[in-house]
Amino acid sequence: MCPGPPGGGTDLFAGFAYLSHVPSTRISAFGIGGAVGMAVTLLSQIVGQDNGPASTDRAFIYDNVKVVVETKVMRSSMGEETRKRAVVTGAASGIGNAVARRLLDDGCEVLAVDIDDGGMAELAAEGCTTRTVDVADIDQRRELAEAVDGFDYLVNSAGIIRISPIFEVTVDEWRQVQTVNAESVFFLCQLIGPRLRPGGAIVNLSSSSAKLSTSTDVAAYAASKTTILSITRSFSYALADRPVRVNAICPGIVDTEMQARFLENVAIHKNTTAAEFDALRKKSVPLHRGASPEECAGLITFLLSDEAAYMTGQAINFTGGLVNW
């Protein structure tokens, strides 16, 4: 099931308005009782099949719960149920790819975005719409924002990593990493956040290196991921009144193509093998393993969903216990 309707909280049926010719019913419950259990009964008994552009408030007492019901009608121009729509950057591989697939499986319309057009071929075959975008490009970011007006979810997953000893990092390397990893997240939140439908959500991918970084060979990357945490907090306040929620996740070791390249490159600098370095890192993780991209996708879709309707501005660790602050 695609992450729930916009609204969340006790607005149990906000978002049903997007069903063609079917009234939406927003139910606010006060007190103690079976608000969720009564919802379907109330829909069948109260709503009926009113096809007019109604707006009616009525109060009921159900199992000692005061229920205020507001009924409205919104019609889809296509005469069909409107599905949730999500845009996912960095969708050609890794966590972004897993998120796009998970959202598609959950019933969302997904716009998969990446600079690597070829890497998105399978997503296109599975039903995603794809768009080739360099998130470091100002004009392409603006064009993407215009294309996703009225979407529900944004997942900022695009990112790069450069391996350089900290005293050898060049200005060009620094700027490249910051532009892709941090600048793009800031401006996509700025451009797309206000265009998301009320009740929408954004998830930004940070990293455990934003909180704990023992490898100085990725200092520029760690700095960019720390910046994402500040961006997330700022936009969580800026978009709260819409309301659009903004959260971040901080993955630790995740078995992706980027991770494999990282291991190979760092192993060279440390005069070891990728396999030995991987085993050494995982030994420091309390769960003694890395995560799969699909596990990360599960957390991200939770944060997008109404199950997380009271969560915003958070940085969620996903590190197998390695980072717990």
Mean pLDDT value across the chain: 81
Q: Is the pLDDT of residue 29 over 70?
A: no
Predicted pLDDT of residue 307:
96
Distance, in Å, from the CA atom of 303 to the CA atom of 204, rounded to the nearest integer, reads 10
Q: Is the pLDDT of residue 33 over 70?
A: no
Q: Is the pLDDT of residue 19 over 80?
A: no
Q: Which of 16-30, 146-160, 193-207, 262-276 has the lowest mean pLDDT?
A: 16-30
Q: Which of 22-26, 126-130, 164-168, 201-205 has the lowest mean pLDDT?
A: 22-26
Q: Which of 70-84, 109-123, 210-224, 263-277 has the lowest mean pLDDT?
A: 70-84
Q: Which of 29-43, 127-141, 277-291 has the lowest mean pLDDT?
A: 29-43
Distances (CA, A) of 124 to 82, 111, 132, 256: 20, 9, 12, 20
Predicted pLDDT of residue 231:
98
> For 281-298, what is the mean pLDDT?
93
Distance, in Å, from the CA atom of 296 to the CA atom of 94, rounded to the nearest integer, reads 10
Distances (CA, A) of 167 to 95, 102, 171, 174, 314: 30, 40, 11, 12, 32
Q: Is the pLDDT of residue 243 over 50?
A: yes
Q: Is the pLDDT of residue 293 over 60?
A: yes
Token reading at 7: 């609204």
Residues 6+ apart with CB under 8 A from 314: 232, 247, 248
pLDDT digits (tens, 9 = 90+) for 92-109: 999 999 999 999 999 999
Distances (CA, A) of 170 to 17, 180, 182: 53, 16, 17
Distance, in Å, from the CA atom of 246 to the CA atom of 258, rounded to the nearest integer, reads 25
Predicted pLDDT of residue 81:
55
Distance, in Å, from the CA atom of 140 to the CA atom of 206, rounded to the nearest integer, reads 22
Looking at the chain, the whole-number percentage of residues with pLDDT higher than 90 is 63
Q: Is the pLDDT of residue 138 over 80?
A: yes
Q: Is the pLDDT of residue 113 over 90?
A: yes
Predicted pLDDT of residue 180:
98
Predicted pLDDT of residue 4:
57
Distance, in Å, from the CA atom of 70 to the CA atom of 92, rounded to the nearest integer, reads 42
Parts of the chain belonging to CATH 3.40.50.720: 85-318
Predicted pLDDT of residue 1:
56
Pairing assessment for the beta strands 65-72 and 55-62 based on DSSP bridges: antiparallel
pLDDT: which is higher, 161 or 45:
161
Predicted pLDDT of residue 3:
65
> For 121-137, what is the mean pLDDT?
97
> For 276-288, what is the mean pLDDT?
89
Distance, in Å, from the CA atom of 198 to the CA atom of 202, rounded to the nearest integer, reads 12
Residues 6+ apart with CB under 8 A from 30: 65, 66
Of 3.40.50.300, 3.40.50.720, 1.20.1250.20, 3.40.50.920, the CATH number of 85-318 is 3.40.50.720
Cα-only R_g, the chain: 22
Predicted pLDDT of residue 261:
84
Q: Is the pLDDT of residue 271 over 70?
A: yes
Q: Which of 27-36, 58-67, 142-151, 295-304 has the lowest mean pLDDT?
A: 27-36
List residues with catalytic annotation: 221
Predicted pLDDT of residue 237:
98
